[in-house]
Amino acid sequence: MKNFSSAIQVIPLEHYIILCTTLFCIGLVGVLYRRNTIIILMCIELMFNSVNLLLTAFSAYHSDPAGQVFVFFIMIVAAAEVAVGLSILVMMKRNVDSVDINLLNRLKW
């Protein structure tokens, strides 16, 4: 327990901000870069997780457990989102026989 508390005091909070920003931007690039729907869903998970890590870091540095409860709620919403998103993907595969996101453009114009 002593070691962990020293870890929080040794590493500055800015490093967590930079790390989480990097991860969030990798997820954003993945959403824009790929056409495979399942990889787009995974990149959304990556962005969720970078926000979770940053919330936990702020919570630990400010000694406030509310931030970790928020992370718990974000995990709940992410689980529900993945269930609905994957069922949409199954439906898409069944209807158009592909997972290419560019085929879902009927609402575009």
Partner 1 sequence: MVFLFYFLSAIMVISALLVVSTRSPINSVIYLIVCFITMAGHYILLNAQFLAVVQIIVYTGAIMVLFLFVIMLLNLNKITVPTKTSLTRIAALITGGLFFLVLIAATRLTFEIHPRYAFDSKIGLVSEVGKTLFGEFLLPFELSSVIFISSMVGAVMFGKKDK
Footprint of partner 1 on residues 15-34 (CB under 8 A)? Answer: 15, 17-19, 21-30, 32-34
Dihedral angle over CA of 32, 79, 74, 17, nearest 10: -40
In whole angstroms, how far apart are CA 61 and each of 10, 45, 50, 68, 100? Answer: 11, 24, 17, 12, 43
Q: For partner 1, which is the closer residue by CB, 1 or 107?
A: 1
In the bound complex, what is the minimum distance in angstroms from residue 94's beta carbon to partner 1? 8
Residues 38-97 that bind partner 1 (CB under 8 A): 38-39, 41-43, 45-46, 49, 52-53, 56-57, 59-66, 68-69, 71-73, 75-84, 86-91, 93-94
In the bound complex, what is the minimum distance in angstroms from residue 44's beta carbon to partner 1? 11
In the bound complex, what is the minimum distance in angstroms from residue 91's beta carbon to partner 1? 5
* CA atoms of 85 and 79, how far apart (whole Å): 10
The angle formed by the CA atoms of residues 31, 34 and 40, to the nearest 5 degrees, is 45
In the bound complex, what is the minimum distance in angstroms from residue 20's beta carbon to partner 1? 9
- The residue whose two tokens read 């824009």 is 32
Q: For partner 1, which is the closer residue by CB, 21 or 107?
A: 21
* CA atoms of 82 and 103, how far apart (whole Å): 21
